[in-house]
Amino acid sequence: MLLLAHRGASADAPENTLEAFAEAVRQGADGVELDAMVCGSGEVVVCHDERLDRLAGQPWEVRTTPWWKLSRADVGTPLGFAPARIPLLEEVLDALPEHFLVNIELKCDRFDDGGLAAGVARLLRERDLSGRVVVSSFNPLCLFRLAEVAPTLRRGFLIDPDKPWALQAYALSPLVSSHSVHPFHEACTPERVTAWNDAGLRVAAWTVDDPRRARELRDLGVSYLITNRPGRVREALR
């Protein structure tokens, strides 16, 4: 089972920043999970929230704010860390070690993704990273678009625990997942994990910081464990 640091090692550094990804490397993660969205000037940035109220104390909406302005936001101090900034996806891809697996979540809940899927595909193609990237999303339309522009990229459907299970797991996931399925860890039962593995899909469970639960999921056959504390979980799994 591979450990993916959730938004980087986000328990110990500001989430989705270069500092958090560097901390994931230091803690011995196998890769990272990160969030990608398009900002107001068209660049693909690494950020989870649609607005920066929580992260930076600013009412800015990412999709309508240009990169020059977003780059000045301090997304470290409001979370209790040293000052940090929102990075571009290309910066993160260039900074990560060559052996790292990268799970890029496409963050978009609208019909029109503003060029997000195409932009991510272009960056991955330019850097020849398809072999170590999995692209996931709660939005099946994003994964459909990704399949159209980059059919060989590995795709994984994120299952929302607040939406009907059967529709997502048995109808949408088989249509858009080419590599993996990404359920909340509490949805990972022995029967479900076995069925997914038998169907040729890897399971990426999120978000697990409890060592005991991590061991249970490893024993069930989960392939990727997404955690805020990769160092602590790594030590427990030893």
Does 22 reside within a domain?
Answer: yes
Q: State the residue range of the domain holding 113.
A: 2-37+99-237
β strands within 107-214, DSSP E: 133-137, 154-158, 180-182, 202-205
Q: Which two tokens stand for residue 195?
A: 């069925």
Q: Which two tokens stand for residue 215?
A: 């061991």
Does 33 reside within a domain?
Answer: yes
- Residue 24 DSSP label: H
The C-alpha atoms of residue 39 and residue 62 are separated, in whole angstroms, by 5
Q: Work out the end-to-end distance of the chain between its first and last CA atoms, rounded to an integer number of angstroms.
A: 12
The total number of structural domains that make up the chain: 1
Residue 105 is which amino acid? E
- Residue 128 DSSP label: T
Q: Which two tokens stand for residue 181?
A: 């399925």
Q: Which two tokens stand for residue 93?
A: 């891809």
The C-alpha atoms of residue 140 and residue 228 are separated, in whole angstroms, by 25
Does 18 reside within a domain?
Answer: yes
Determine contact, residues 53/27, Cβ cutoff 8 Å: no
The C-alpha atoms of residue 18 and residue 81 are separated, in whole angstroms, by 13
79 dihedral zone (left: phi>0; alpha: psi -120 to 50; beta)? alpha
**Is the four-CA dihedral 226, 232, 236, 238 of positive or negative sign?**
positive
Does 70 reside within a domain?
Answer: no
Question: Residue 238: its pLDDT value, please?
Answer: 87
Nearest Cα neighbor of 75 from 47, 95, 115 is 47
β strands within the chain, DSSP E: 2-6, 31-38, 44-46, 101-106, 133-137, 154-158, 180-182, 202-205, 224-227
Does 203 reside within a domain?
Answer: yes
Does 80 reside within a domain?
Answer: no
Determine contact, residues 228/209, Cβ cutoff 8 Å: yes
Question: Residue 229: its pLDDT value, please?
Answer: 98
Does 122 reside within a domain?
Answer: yes
Does 230 reside within a domain?
Answer: yes
pLDDT digits (tens, 9 = 90+) for 193-211: 999 999 999 999 999 999 9
Which residues face 203 on adjacent strands?
181
Model pTM above 0.95? yes
The C-alpha atoms of residue 74 and residue 83 are separated, in whole angstroms, by 6
- Residues of the chain under the 50 pLDDT cut: none
Question: Residue 146: its pLDDT value, please?
Answer: 97
Q: Which residues are catalytic?
A: 6, 48
- CATH (domain of 104): 3.20.20.190
